[in-house]
A = this chain, B = another copy of it.
Amino acid sequence: MKACAAVLTEFNRPLDLREIAAPVLGAGQLLVEILAAGVCGSDVHMWRGKDPRTPLPIILGHEGVGRVVDVRGPRCDVYGAPVSPGDRIIWERGVACGRCYACAVLHQPSLCENRWAYGIHRSLHDEPHLNGCYASHIILDARTDLVPLLPDDDPSLLVAASCSGATAAHTFDLVETRVGDTVVVFDLSKGRGADLVIEASGSISAAEEGLDLVRRGGALALVGFGTPVGAMSLLPFEQVVQRNVQFQGVWVSDLRHLLRAMSVLRAYANDLSGLVTRRCSLAQATEALEAVESRRALKVVLVPSGSDD
């Protein structure tokens, strides 16, 4: 079978549309047709050469929803049900080892030192080659966690759960919040400051400003930083100690966060129908990256087959 992929071969240059022969599946692997691939801000960083992890050439894309084409051997989803050709699925983008200290003792696979993610760590040369979502097809590893879609799920909307949604959900594992807390909504906070400020832009000035917006005893979560940005300065006594503030880094996410993000997207599917402001073909992948970089679009999704149904 021939797959088609948008390949990053040189930083800052247009992605290259290529035909790639799909290899024979190994034990436990799945061949999946991509129904929707999210374009994430960190894809832009990789394209621009700002992420030191990027191995070239690479098929970008760590956010994906797809339809199973083939499975080698029995595979079950996270609920224990068998997965078969024709099933629509989403998957945990990161694959953790399950045996290291972070996985087996801390129960935080997002901190696994052997963790790798589709579209980020494996180049086009690494087997089984189809390792990213900017493609007509992807091959999922035997250790990838699979989650079934419901009949009403919209792949283009749900794909946002994969990385950005799940990372946001991770925040709530690290920062205690309660129903009714003020989350960066200052006009309602009666001058108290926010219970929780989520820094999601990846800019140092926003982090510095956010620290002042937190109430005494509240928290600032740094969620938006995906690549090095240099140093920031803070006043440990005045801004952190005397105000009893929690300053919390949030690093990627794991399957539990993906499921939570899916729950939220499903519950508010109607309200969020305008979230995806642009759908592109694979040939338009470079334009999609530019649209995200220039913030002209809210959420951009690649639809390789021309339809995400």
Q: How far is the CB of A288 from chain B (nearest CB, A)?
A: 25
Nearest chain-B residue to A231 (Cβ)? B233
Q: How far is the CB of A111 from chain B (nearest CB, A)?
A: 5
Chain B proximity mask over A243-276: 1 for CB below 8 Å, otherwise 0? 1111111110011100111111000000000000
A178: B residues at CB distance < 8 A = 169, 172-173, 256, 260
Q: Is the CB of B174 within 8 A of A179?
A: no
Asked if A190 lies at the interface with its beta carbon under 8 angstroms from chain B, I say yes
CA A191 to CA B241, docked complex, whole Å = 28
Q: How far is the CB of A201 from chain B (nearest CB, A)?
A: 12
Nearest chain-B residue to A182 (Cβ)? B263
Q: Is the CB of A217 within 8 A of B100?
A: no
Asked if A238 lies at the interface with its beta carbon under 8 angstroms from chain B, I say yes
Nearest chain-B residue to A251 (Cβ)? B244
Q: Is the CB of A249 within 8 A of B241?
A: yes
Q: Is the CB of B217 within 8 A of A262?
A: no
Q: Which of B101, B222, B230, B244 contacts A249 (CB 8 A)?
A: B244
Asked if A129 lies at the interface with its beta carbon under 8 angstroms from chain B, I say no
Asked if A232 lies at the interface with its beta carbon under 8 angstroms from chain B, I say yes
A261: B residues at CB distance < 8 A = 180
A241: B residues at CB distance < 8 A = 222-223, 225, 249-251
Asked if A78 lies at the interface with its beta carbon under 8 angstroms from chain B, I say yes
Nearest chain-B residue to A260 (Cβ)? B180
CA A120 to CA B178, docked complex, whole Å = 29
Nearest chain-B residue to A228 (Cβ)? B237
A227: B residues at CB distance < 8 A = 237
Asked if A82 lies at the interface with its beta carbon under 8 angstroms from chain B, I say no
Q: Knowing A236-B204, A240-B247, A241-B249 touch, does A264 contact B180 (C-beta < 8 A)?
A: yes
CA A163 to CA B230, docked complex, whole Å = 37
CA A12 to CA B208, docked complex, whole Å = 36
A223: B residues at CB distance < 8 A = 241
CA A293 to CA B190, docked complex, whole Å = 40
Q: Is the CB of B78 within 8 A of A99?
A: yes
A251: B residues at CB distance < 8 A = 216, 241-244
CA A234 to CA B220, docked complex, whole Å = 15
Q: Knowing A227-B237, A263-B180 touch, does A247 contact B244 (C-beta < 8 A)?
A: no
Q: How far is the CB of A230 from chain B (nearest CB, A)?
A: 7
CA A79 to CA B102, docked complex, whole Å = 9
Q: How far is the CB of A252 from chain B (nearest CB, A)?
A: 9
Q: How far is the CB of A198 from chain B (nearest CB, A)?
A: 12
Q: Which of B102, B228, B244 contacts A250 (CB 8 A)?
A: B244
What would be 14 A-B contacts, judged by CB atoms less than 8 Å apart? A78-B101, A80-B100, A104-B145, A104-B254, A106-B217, A106-B256, A107-B107, A180-B261, A180-B262, A225-B242, A232-B233, A232-B234, A240-B247, A244-B251
